[in-house]
Amino acid sequence: MSGPRRRALGLGAGLLVLLILVVTSIAVGSTAIPLSVVWDALTHPSATIDEYAIRDYRVPRTIVGLVVGVALGLSGALIQALTRNPLADPGILGVHAGASFAVTAAVGFFGVRDVQGFLWFGFAGALVVTLMVLALGSTRQGSSPVVMVLAGVCVGAVLGGAREALQLTDPDAFDVIRAWNAGSIAGRSLDVVGPILPFVVIAVVLAFVAARPLNAMALGDDLAVAQGARLTRTRILAILAITLLAGGATAIAGPIGFVGLMVPHVARWIVGPDQRWIFAYSILLAPVLLLASDILGRLVLHPGEVPVGIVTAFLGAPVLIALVRRAKVSGL
Amino acid sequence: MTLPSRTRRGAALAVALLGASLALTACSAGDTGTATGETRTVQADNGSVEIPAAPQRVATIGNTTLPFIDLGGSPVGVTAEADSDIERLSADQQETYRSATLLAASADEVDMEQLAALEPDLILVQIPDAEFESIEDELEAIAPTVFFGLDTEWKALADAVADAGNTTDALSAQKAEFEGLVTGIQEEYADLIANTTFVDVIRWSSSDPGTFAIADIGCSEIGRDEVGLNLPEAEEGADPLAWTALSFEQLGELSGYDVITYPVDAAGEPTEPFAPVVETNTWQSLPAVTSGHALGVFCPGNNSYGAVIQYLESLQDALASLPAAG
């Protein structure tokens, strides 16, 4: 079977797994609801308490998981391709720190208390930080991935400290942010997804436009230029896509780690170094991971729930350790 | 016989010095009134403590602030209280709190120099044991310090704070009012209390979006343990039910209770953290809600008689609003 055909079949299998998880996410939760009621809630809606649980909580939660998963997975793949660093994730460019600081400031200075209010502050924080990192990472010879990573780490550290300081001086802000910082898709309505969705779609398009030149850039800047890749343009497109994706995901769900780190690696194991296939598989596999983690979080501590950001951290840490101990980390 | 002039001058100087010494001694004895025996001993979790009989400058650290203010006390220095707790105080009590010097956001950050500068004659403390151990010596070097552990039951804390802070008259009046309210509710609603299942729900500002909790601590304890309401309670040795965040999709499980109580502010509106709950379709479809058996109750706190009295008055009003049994 040819490579592209095998990859296409793999995409189909991944899509099937994703569909199964979508159905499971709607059917399973902290309250036991018969499947017949689940079906009726979706096909013949009526005003019963159980059907409200399906339509008002589980369906939006599932959709949020899909959007956030796509955003995190694709942004992770983009960052690893852009920086040629297989251990990079959306946090390394300071995106999480920017969004977290902006949300903390929104709570502390403007009295914002709900997720809808966090949305645009988080988005703006991520955008500002990304632009800062882009500016700091630019040298006379153009943008440098290594310098960008260093700038991202530095900016992230400064904003992380500023956020902690603000939380210490404002206990009320700390209380509100504590839940958001854990990273969760619970309690998010479609009102928070709708405004962000167009940006995610735009970012997906930008990512695939940048995919082919990123393939060339994996061989090094000189070879990439020799193959006709436009380095600065590609990097700007990639960073813009990362900002929209990671910023949007963090604004909706708070900082969720490891998804953007793990999923591109798994994609690379399956399809090899072609960024177009890596992006496609990341778009599919990241929501699989996120929804599976969220379902697990609903069940493992019943009747309470574990935020998905904590579940992915528990899953991601062993994976990260396995990655760094591999003799050869999957190349870019 | 006449003394020589030099001798006369020396004698005068000696008399002047002796007189000055006596005057200084008298003044210093007046400045340290406690040294003359106007003290008493109280028992606390840090042992027997000798304190002024009538302390005039009391500093409160940790959970002693609100009970002391509730008893009519005016602390000279306090550690910070949550804005939400301050907003539930009366205007006078809020003014009393704001008039005090804010020592720190929490006990482990108390500025000892600032505290010492206030010249307190008594320090009341209720904080975790480990935190107290780390600052105990410093506090006791400033003023007599009376410490209560976090496991001190609220009535015992009120008694001890009133005793140490010399506000027992206010405490007696509050106790009488409290007992009258409890007895009144029990007598007026005896049948309801005996035959009705209650559940108290809560949501905090720190709660994750889309979650709530069943309150078995706080004012719910008063309703259960003092009034006798049939409210859920965690099993022996288990964590409080209130520590488990439940998803909004679990609101449907409240259908099994006859009456639901939920938190409201002084104006009777759902508190800001709880407002998202009452806006849900699930809440609005609950049998207790649709039949008028969802009662908003004001709970300013449960660690002092004044706050508990306000809760009981609100509970009494809420119970009076229940539809007549059909």
pLDDT at B36: 41
Diameter over CA atoms, chain B? 114
Name the pairing type of β-strands A142-143 and A138-139.
Answer: antiparallel
Mean pLDDT for B167-175 is 93
CA dihedral B28, B33, B37, B41 (to 10 degrees): -130
Which residue, among A7, A291, A49, has the nearest Cα to B289 in the 3D structure?
A49
User: Number of residue pairs across A and B with CB atoms under 8 Å?
Assistant: 91
pLDDT at B9: 56
Could you say which of A56, A304, A305 has the minimum Cβ distance to residue B280?
A56
What residue ranges of chain A have pLDDT lower than 70? 1-2, 139-145, 171-173, 176, 320, 323-324, 326-332
Q: Residue B16: CB partners within 8 Å, gap ≥ 6?
A: none
Token pair for B23 = 């005057």
Token pair for A120 = 């645009």
From chain A, pick out residues whose CB is under 8 angstroms from the CB of B283. Answer: none
Q: 59-88 in B: which are within 8 Å (CB) of A? A: 80, 82-84
Verify whether the Cβ–Cβ distance A188 to B209 is below 8 Å.
yes
pLDDT at A92: 76
Verify whether the Cβ–Cβ distance B282 to A53 is below 8 Å.
yes
Name the pairing type of β-strands B39-44 and B47-52.
Answer: antiparallel
C-beta separation of B146 from B123 below 8 A: yes
Task: Report the residue of chain B nearest A298, measured CA to CA.
Answer: B247
From chain A, pick out residues whose CB is under 8 angstroms from the CB of B83. Answer: 172
- Interface check for B105 against chain A (CB to CB < 8 A): the answer is yes
Report chain B's mean pLDDT, rounded to a whole number.
Answer: 88
Task: Report the residue of chain A nearest B249, measured CA to CA.
Answer: A53
Share of chain B above pLDDT 90, in %: 74
Residue B26 above 70 pLDDT? no
From chain A, pick out residues whose CB is under 8 angstroms from the CB of B280. Answer: 52, 56
Could you say which of A52, A169, A187 has the minimum Cβ distance to residue B208?
A187
- Interface check for B280 against chain A (CB to CB < 8 A): the answer is yes
Q: 205-224 in B: which are within 8 Å (CB) of A? A: 205-211
Residue B227 above 70 pLDDT? yes
C-beta separation of A115 from B209 below 8 A: yes
Tell me which H or E stretch contains B125: strand B122-126
pLDDT at B312: 97
Task: Report the residue of chain B nearest A31, measured CA to CA.
Answer: B250
Query: By three-state DSSP, how is residue A14 classified?
Result: helix
Could you write out the DSSP letters of every residue in B18-80? HHHHHHHHHHHHHH-GGGGT-EEEEEETTEEEEEESS-SSEEEEETTHHHHHHTT---SEEE-
Residue B1 above 50 pLDDT? no
Which residue, among A212, A220, A211, has the nearest Cα to A282 in the 3D structure?
A211
Per-residue pLDDT band for B22 (boundaries 50, 70, 90) equals very low
Task: Report the residue of chain B nearest A306, measured CA to CA.
Answer: B245
Could you say which of A114, A171, A298 has the minimum Cβ distance to residue B105?
A171
From chain B, pick out residues whose CB is under 8 angstroms from the CB of A46. Answer: none
Half-sphere exposure of B311 (CA within 13 A, CB side): 24
Token pair for A110 = 């403007």
Could you say which of B205, B207, B246 has the minimum Cβ distance to residue A303?
B246
Share of chain B above pLDDT 70, in %: 88
Verify whether the Cβ–Cβ distance B105 to A168 is below 8 Å.
yes
pLDDT at B14: 52
Verify whether the Cβ–Cβ distance A49 to B286 is below 8 Å.
yes
Verify whether the Cβ–Cβ distance B204 to A114 is below 8 Å.
no
Residue type, A227: Q
Token pair for A79 = 């960052």
Query: By three-state DSSP, how is residue B267 classified?
Result: coil
DSSP tag of B225:
I
From chain A, pick out residues whose CB is under 8 angstroms from the CB of B246. Answer: 30, 303-304
- Interface check for B292 against chain A (CB to CB < 8 A): the answer is no
List residues in chain A touching B: CB distance below 8 A: 29-31, 47-50, 52-53, 56-58, 113-115, 168-169, 171-172, 175-176, 178-179, 182, 184, 186-188, 298, 303-305, 307
Token pair for B313 = 């008055």
Q: What is the 3-state secondary structure (H, E, C) of A151-181?
A: HHHHHHHHHHHHHHHHHHHCHHHHHHHHHHH
From chain B, pick out residues whose CB is under 8 angstroms from the CB of A172. Answer: 82-84, 205
Verify whether the Cβ–Cβ distance A31 to B276 is below 8 Å.
no
- Taking the CA of residue A293 and the nearest CA in chain B, the distance in Å comes to 16
Look at phi and psi of residue B294 and say left if phi exceeds 0, alpha if psi is from -120 to 50, else beta: beta
DSSP tag of B230:
B
Mutate which of B106, B203, B249 to disrupt the A interface (most A C-beta within 10 Å)?
B249
* Residue A219 burial (C-beta neighbours within 10 Å; 0-12, 13-18, 19+): middle
- Interface check for B21 against chain A (CB to CB < 8 A): the answer is no
Look at phi and psi of residue B72 and say left if phi exceeds 0, alpha if psi is from -120 to 50, else beta: left
Verify whether the Cβ–Cβ distance B208 to A172 is below 8 Å.
no
DSSP tag of B235:
P
- Interface check for B276 against chain A (CB to CB < 8 A): the answer is yes
pLDDT at B31: 38
pLDDT at B37: 59
- Interface check for B252 against chain A (CB to CB < 8 A): the answer is yes
Residue B175 above 50 pLDDT? yes
CA dihedral A192, A197, A199, A201 (to 10 degrees): 160
- Interface check for B253 against chain A (CB to CB < 8 A): the answer is yes
pLDDT at B214: 96
pLDDT at A140: 65
CA dihedral A312, A317, A318, A323 (to 10 degrees): 110
Task: Report the residue of chain A nearest B245, measured CA to CA.
Answer: A304
Which residue, among B6, B54, B274, B264, has the nearest Cα to B164 in the 3D structure?
B54
Helices (H), chain B: 5-31, 65-70, 83-87, 91-99, 112-117, 129-142, 154-165, 168-188, 190-195, 219-221, 275-278, 281-285, 287-290, 305-320
pLDDT at A171: 67
- Taking the CA of residue B207 and the nearest CA in chain A, the distance in Å comes to 7
Per-residue pLDDT band for B325 (boundaries 50, 70, 90) equals low
Tell me which H or E stretch contains B261: strand B259-264
- Interface check for B256 against chain A (CB to CB < 8 A): the answer is no
Verify whether the Cβ–Cβ distance A186 to B211 is below 8 Å.
yes
C-alpha distances (whole Å) from B85 to each of A159, B37, B81 are 31, 39, 7
Could you say which of B205, B245, B255 has the minimum Cβ distance to residue A113?
B205
pLDDT at A317: 77
pLDDT at B32: 37
